[in-house]
Amino acid sequence: MDRHSQVTHSARELLIQVLAYLAPDETFTKEECTQHNVNKPSRKMRIKRILGTTSEGPINLIDSFADTLDNMYHVLTGEAHRRNDQFKSDQTITALLVSLGSFLVMLLDWHDLILP
């Protein structure tokens, strides 16, 4: 019954783990975190580190997708608790996962981790 929220939760977790793997906490200084007013590196800080750029275009693209993924999770969690079958989101979930895969490929490519 809750497959939609479960797959979205897993997709969020995958994105979080990829970002943490490519830009682990220990690569950030305490001063960097203080400068950004955070206790641990933010998602956007990790994306900047992974991409090795301060160019806002790619950074905002990945960060906005992460926001979309969070919002999708909240919507689908609510839908999973509905008591009727009016909401069918298999196609939405499929599109979400395809999009996540595409963004991860772009992120890795920009980080020069994709093998030729």
Q: Report the alpha-carbon distance of residue 115 to residue 109 in Å, rounded.
A: 9
Taking the model in full, what pTM does it have?
Answer: 0.70
Does the pLDDT value for residue 116 go beyond 50? no
Over residues 6-28, the pLDDT tens digits come to 777 788 788 888 889 988 999 99
* Residue 116 located in a structural domain: no
* Residue 17 located in a structural domain: yes
Q: What is the mean pLDDT of residues 91-113?
A: 78
The predicted structure's pLDDT at residue 114:
44
Q: Locate 97 and state its tokens.
A: 């996962």
How many domains is the chain built from?
1
* Residue 83 located in a structural domain: yes
Q: Report the alpha-carbon distance of residue 102 to residue 47 in Å, rounded.
A: 16
Range of the domain at 34: 3-110
| Percent of residues in the chain assigned helix, strand, coil, to nearest 5 | 70, 0, 30
Over residues 68-94, the pLDDT tens digits come to 767 776 776 666 666 666 655 778 778
> Which three-class secondary structure state does DSSP give residue 62?
helix
* Residue 100 located in a structural domain: yes
Q: What is the mean pLDDT of residues 37-62?
A: 82
The predicted structure's pLDDT at residue 115:
39
* Residue 66 located in a structural domain: yes
The predicted structure's pLDDT at residue 86:
62
* Residue 115 located in a structural domain: no
* Residue 59 located in a structural domain: yes
Of 38 and 43, which is predicted with more confidence?
38
